[in-house]
Amino acid sequence: MEVLLEAKNVKKHFPIRKGLLSRVVANVKAVDDVSLTVHRGETLGLVGESGCGKSTLGRTMIRLYEPTAGEIRFNGRDFTTLKGGELRRARKNIQMIFQDPYASLDPRMTVGQILRQPFEIHGLLGSAAREAKVLDLLKIVGLKPSHVNRYPHEFSGGQRQRISIARAIALEPEMIICDEPVSALDVSIQAQILNLLKDLQDRLKLTYIFVSHDLSVIEHVCDRIAVMYLGKIVEVATREELFKNPKHPYTQALIAAIPRVGEGKRKIKKSLGGEVPSPINPPSGCYFHPRCPHATEKCRTQTPKLEGSLHEVSCWLY
Amino acid sequence: MVKPTAAREPILKVEELETTFFLKSGPFRAVNRVSYSVSKGETLGVVGESGCGKSVTSFSLMRLIEQPGQITHGRVLFQGHDLLKLPEKQVQKVRGGKMAMIFQEPMTALNPVLTVGRQIDEQILRHEAVSPEEARERSIKMLKKVGIPSPEDRYSNYPHQLSGGMRQRAMIAMALSCDPEVLIADEPTTALDVTIQAQILELIQSLQEEKNMAVQFITHDLGVISEISDRVMVMYGGMKCEEATSEALFNSPKHPYTAALIQSRPQLGHREHRLRTIEGSVPAPHELPAGCPFQNRCPRRIALCSKRPPEIEIQPGHRVACFNPL
C-alpha cells in the first residue's frame, strides 16, 4: 500500500512561561515522539481520552501547529520545511473538519462566501465557475441551492457540519483530518454525517485521519487505529485486530469501559482506577504504569518503545 | 441483581406533567403530559436527543423552571405531597434534602468562589439541625465516601483545583450529603472520558444500592442508559414515546423512533457499511406537528398519526405511544 503521510519522531511541546521575563518554566508535552504512517485511501483512527494529544497530533500534521521536532512527509515530500506559497499549495491537499461547527464557520459570512473562499485563496476558477462549483458542493453534501445566501446560525448542528465538509472537499484534497467531527451532534444526526463521510471517501478516493474519543464511532469508520495516552502512541493495529486482540492494558481498559447496548442492566465495574497524569510532568518509565494493573519495576524505570510489524504495541509485557 | 420492579412501591409519581415556555413565537410545550414513576432502589433511565424535554422534565420535578417557562399541568407526588402545590419554602426543604440532583457540568453547578467543603457544609446546615463542626465532619466523610483521595485537604479546595472527574465526585458528595430518597442525575457523565465515566457510574450504583435510593438517570447516551437502568423511558418532542425494561427496550423496541435511534448508533462488532439514519432533524419548537411529534420523520406513519397517540401497554410493563407500533 502506498504511504501518503509519514510522521517521524514528531514532538509538539507547548512552553509554559512565567514571571516578568516570561521564562519557560516547563513544557506541556502534548505530542511526545510520535511516528506514524497513513496509507492512501485508508481511514486511520486516533483515539484516546482528553489530553492525550490526539487533536494536537492531527493539527500538527497539517502544521496548524508547528512541530517542535520531527519530520512529516506528505506524498514523499518533507512537509515540515515548506514555506510561503509552497506550503499554501501543499496544504490544498490536506484539509480539516473540526468538532464544533459553531466555532469553525465565520458567523458573518454566508454559506456561499464560505465555500468560495478556498478558490479565492488559491486563485482558482473564474467567478461563474466558482458559483457553479459552490452549488455543486452544496448538492454533494446534501444541502439545497437555496441555502447559498444563508448564514451559519440559520442551520442546525448537522447542517453546519455539512457546510464544513463542503468547504473541506472544495479543493479536492487527497486527505482530510476529521477532528471529532460528530462529537457535538445528536445520535441520529451523527449517523447521517458518518454516512456522508463514507460516501465522499468512496467517491473522491479520500484518505482520512479520524480523531475521536468514541470507540464505537472509531470502530465503525476506521481501517487502522492508533491508541494514544499522554502524548504517545501506545498501540497501532487494524480495526479487527485491535478489538479482537487488544494488547496494551490501556487499550484493554478503554474497550472494557465502552457501555454495551441491549444486554440489560448490569453491575458496572470500573476498568481503570486513577486519572490521567499531567503532561507537564509525566511519570517515569512507561507513562501508564501508575494506573496499570500489570506494572513491574521495569515499567517504573524504563520507557517501552512502540514495536511490532502489523500490530504495534509499546508495553513491556510483550 | 435486578429485582422485579412490579413488587416495588413507587416513591416518586409524575402524572400528566406539562411544562410550557411562553415564547415570542407562541407557547411551546417542552414537556407534554408526561407520566411515569420511580420506585425505591430502582433506576429509571430517561433518554432522548437534544430538545426532547428530558432535562426540562427533571427541572420541573425540582420546581426549577424559570420565566418564560411555567409548569402548566400535572402532579408530582412525593412522600404523599404534590410538589407542584407545596409553598416554595417547603419545596426548598425537599430540594437538596430528600430529593437531590446532579448535573452534567459540575464547573457551572458548583460555586467557583466557595471551597468544595463549604458548599457541602451549607447543604447539610440548611437541611439538618447540626453544628458547623458536625457538618464539616460529615462533609469530609462524604468526600471520602465518593472516593476523593485525602478528603481533609480537598475539603478546602476550590472547584477549579479539582479535575473533571473529581468535581463530579464532589457534586455527588454534596447531593448525597442529606441522604436523599430520590436522586436525579442529569447527564452526569457526559463531559467525562470513558474510563472516568465507568468510575462514576460504578460509584452511583454502589451508593444507590447502599441507600436504596430511587435514581432518575437522564442521558443521550444509549450505551450508558442500557447498562444503568432497570427501566428506560424514551422521549421525543416533549412526549414520552416508549417505556420498558432496559432489556426489552433495546432488544425489541416498539416505537419507530426508539428503533431508529438504536439502529443509527454504531455498535461494536456489528459493522455495516452504512448506518441507518433518521431523515431530517429534530423539529424546532415552532415546527412541532400536532399529534405524534415524530410523524414527519416516521417511516410507519399512517393517517391517524395527526392525532395524539394514546399510551398502550403492549406487554406487561412495556408501554408505547404509537398508532402503528412495530
A301 vs B: CB within 8 A = no
Domains and CATH numbers, chain A: 3-93+171-259+270-313 (3.40.50.300)
**How many angstroms separate the CA of residue B1 from the nearest CA in chain A?**
8
- For A170-217, write each residue's pLDDT tens digit: 999 999 999 999 988 888 889 999 999 999 999 999 999 999 999 999
Which of A225, A51, A55, A304 is CA-nearest to residue B195? A51
Q: Is residue B285 pLDDT above 70, yes or no?
A: yes
pLDDT in tens, B109-119: 889 999 999 99
Each residue of A86-133: pLDDT tens digit? 888 888 999 999 988 888 999 999 999 999 999 999 999 888 999 999
For the stretch A255-266, pLDDT in tens is 999 888 888 888
Whether residue B199 lies within 8 A of chain A, CB to CB, comes out as yes
ipTM of the complex: 0.85
pLDDT at residue number B5: 46
Chain B residue closest in CA terms to A199: B274
Cross-chain Cβ contact A275/B264 below 8 Å:
no
Contact assessment for residue A98 and residue A165, using Cβ atoms and an 8 Å cutoff: no
Crossing angle of helices A157-169 and A127-140, in 10° steps, is 130
Q: pLDDT per residue over B171-216, tens digit each?
A: 999 998 988 999 999 998 887 888 888 988 999 999 999 999 999 9
At B7 the pLDDT is: 54
Hey, is the C-beta of B190 within 8 angstroms of any chain A C-beta?
A: no
Q: Do A265 and B262 touch (CB under 8 A)?
A: no
Question: Is this model's pTM higher than 0.95 or not?
Answer: no
Q: Which residues of A touch B146 (CB under 8 A)?
A: none
Q: What is the pLDDT at residue A27?
A: 87
Residue A188 near chain B (CB below 8 Å): yes
Using only C-alpha atoms, what is the Rg of chain B? 20
Residue of A nearest to B52 (CA): A186
To the nearest whole Å, the CA of B18 is away from the closest chain A CA by 24
Res B82: pLDDT = 94
> Does the pLDDT at position B1 exceed 50?
no
A133: left (phi over 0), alpha (psi -120 to 50) or beta: alpha
Residue with cell 407545596: B86
Residue B311 contacts A, CB cutoff 8 Å: no
Q: Do A195 and B264 touch (CB under 8 A)?
A: no
Q: Do B266 and A189 touch (CB under 8 A)?
A: no
Give contacts of A191 with chain B, Cβ < 8 Å.
264-266, 275-278
What residues in A contact B250, CB-CB < 8 Å? Answer: 261-262, 264
**Which sign, positive or negative, has the C-alpha torsion B308, B263, A264, B238?**
negative
pLDDT above 70 for A243: yes
DSSP state string for B262-320: HHTS--TT---SS----SS-PPPGGGPPSS-TTGGG-TT--GGGGSPPPEEEEETTEEE
How many other CB atoms sit within 10 Å of the CB of residue A77?
12
Q: CA angle at residue B66 from B65 to B71, to 5 degrees?
A: 45
Percent of chain B residues topping a pLDDT of 70 = 97
